[in-house]
Amino acid sequence: MSQKATIEIEGKKYELPVIKGTENELAIDIKTLRSATGGVITIDPGFKNTGSCESAITFLNGEEGILRYRGYSIEELAEKADFLEVAFLLIFGELPTKEQLEKFDTDIKANAHVDEDVKKIIDGFPKAAHPMGVLSSLTSALVAFNPSSVNVDSEEEMYNAIVRIMGKFPVLTAWTYRKHSGLPLDYGDSSLGYVENFIKMMFKKPADEYKSNKVVLDALDKLLILHADHEQNCSTSTVRIVGSSHAGLFVSLSAGINALWGPLHGGANQAVIEMLEAIEEDGGDTKKYMAKAKDKNDPFRLMGFGHRVYKNFDPRAKIIKKSADNVLGDLGIEDPILDIAKGLEKEALEDSYFVDRKLYPNVDFYSGIIYRALGIPTEMFTPMFALGRLPGWIAQWREMRLNKEPIGRPRQIYIGEQKRPFKKIKDR
Ligand code: SDX
């Protein structure tokens, strides 16, 4: 029997339907609220209590620290799947058969070429340009070279746009890094797998043979899986709302890249390393930074800590922390900031300020330590997050379009001046 919610406004009662998801989450369906009440709306800055959609892609339980892609636990996927398999799962809803995965891989490789004229756009950026700004610009610019990927209505047109961006985005990400590092823009090698090809495009030095490194490949593949989707986070909500105007996939993704750049969101992985390096330079004085994080008059926050949904350990942070130990061990790297990070985590988890607010390490707290060990510069950490999140953004955009969701257009409560007559400048 479907449940109802009753609200009373100015002495009048209204009943609203309550919907239940497959994991027994409940939501009050307010689709009819404004018309039923003659104009009453809800308000919820940051949408902390508001659902934007019903989605079948990713399930989070913040209290229990659960994350599942299409019903599969993140722990199993990180252990047993590879990134391209997970990308297929997120976008199309099922783990691919061998044939499906081979076709997906072949179609992506067939579309991995990036027009040589894109290099002229890259050349226009100063070397010091932040890679996220370059990457979002290049992603938008792709429209000029792939006009048929803009107005995609059929599933086939969507598929073609999807394999195009899945093929080109790793190239744009690698080229962004190489421009930043003063290296020639390397093309990939279609005999390699998706992630290994990306590593080669990133790191192959002009005069050296590319040598595969299984530790680096496994670590990066796992990191990309862990970043692949996270339901309606800030950047995904941006991709969905831009796409809801029927703007094309590439420009919707470009908007998502810009939202991810913010230090409160994906930009936190860069901010965490900068914070840990500052603490190291400050003699490892973690207590000083803990005090700053708790001081309401100090804008400093403990980067990599806290989460809108997780009020328990971020399951991704647990996996990444374990992987950081393994990768540094396998590569024989001693990185003092890993010890600083662990010390900071221990202190925070014993400090009532963090415990009372349920602030735990999130996905960004340890990821940068692995990227650093893999030789990825700090400014490239958030582009790495974007590369991981690409299939999730695509999956969410595709679901929104296939569900024919309406254009996103929130209402507001006006709190400005009431009607007043124009004043001549001499009277102001
Ligand atoms: C990502 O949404 C997603 O799913 C995102 C993501 C994904 O995969 O897409 O998981 C990726 O963005 C992870 C988050 C990365 N950001 C950071 O690590 C930046 C540091 N964290 C915070 O800025 C903060 O925790 C947020 C932005 C992540 C969440 O902020 P909320 O949900 O708006 O919570 P809030 O700001 O209302 O904080 C509640 C309280 C406040 O104190 P009081 O006013 O109650 O006294 O906790 C405090 C905050 O001041 N607080 C922190 C803190 N985070 C929250 N205090 C110190 N350091 C922090 N990191």
Interatomic CA distance for residues 88 and 391, integer angstroms: 8
Query: DSSP H helical segments within 146-285, as ranges?
Result: 155-180, 194-203, 214-226, 234-243, 249-260, 268-281
Interatomic CA distance for residues 238 and 8, integer angstroms: 33
CB 396 within 8 A of CB 145: no
Q: What is the pLDDT of residue 149?
A: 81
Of the candidates 304, 289, 300, the one whose C-alpha atom is nearest the C-alpha of residue 382 is 304
Tens digits of residue pLDDT in 78-109 = 999 999 999 999 999 999 999 999 999 999 99
- Nearest C-alpha to atom 32 of ligand 1 is from which residue? 308
Interatomic CA distance for residues 164 and 168, integer angstroms: 6
CA distances from 320 to 74, 135, 213, 340, 369 (A): 12, 25, 19, 16, 9
Which three-class secondary structure state does DSSP give residue 305? strand
Q: What is the pLDDT of residue 247?
A: 95
Catalytic residue check, 307? yes
Burial class (CB in 10 A: 0-12, 13-18, 19+), 295: exposed
Q: If you search the block for the tokens 């073609």, which residue do you land on? A: 160
Tens digits of residue pLDDT in 147-178 = 888 888 899 999 999 999 999 999 999 999 99
DSSP 407: P
pLDDT at 424 over 80: yes
DSSP 57: S
CB 96 within 8 A of CB 83: no
- Nearest C-alpha to atom 13 of ligand 1 is from which residue? 265
Average pLDDT value for residue range 248-263: 97
- What the block records as the tokens of 154 is 């059929």
Tens digits of residue pLDDT in 125-140 = 999 999 999 999 999 9
Q: What is the pLDDT of residue 148?
A: 84
Q: What is the pLDDT of residue 153?
A: 86
Cα torsion at 392, 398, 403, 405 (round to 10°)? Answer: 90
* Of 234, 357, 384, 385, best ligand 1 pocket probe by most atoms within 8 Å of the beta carbon: 357
66-69 and 58-61 strand pairing: antiparallel
Confidence band for 10, pLDDT divided at 50, 70 and 90: very high
- Nearest C-alpha to atom 4 of ligand 1 is from which residue? 233
Q: Exactly one of 180, 227, 230, 307 is catalytic; name it.
A: 307
Give the type of residue at 358. K
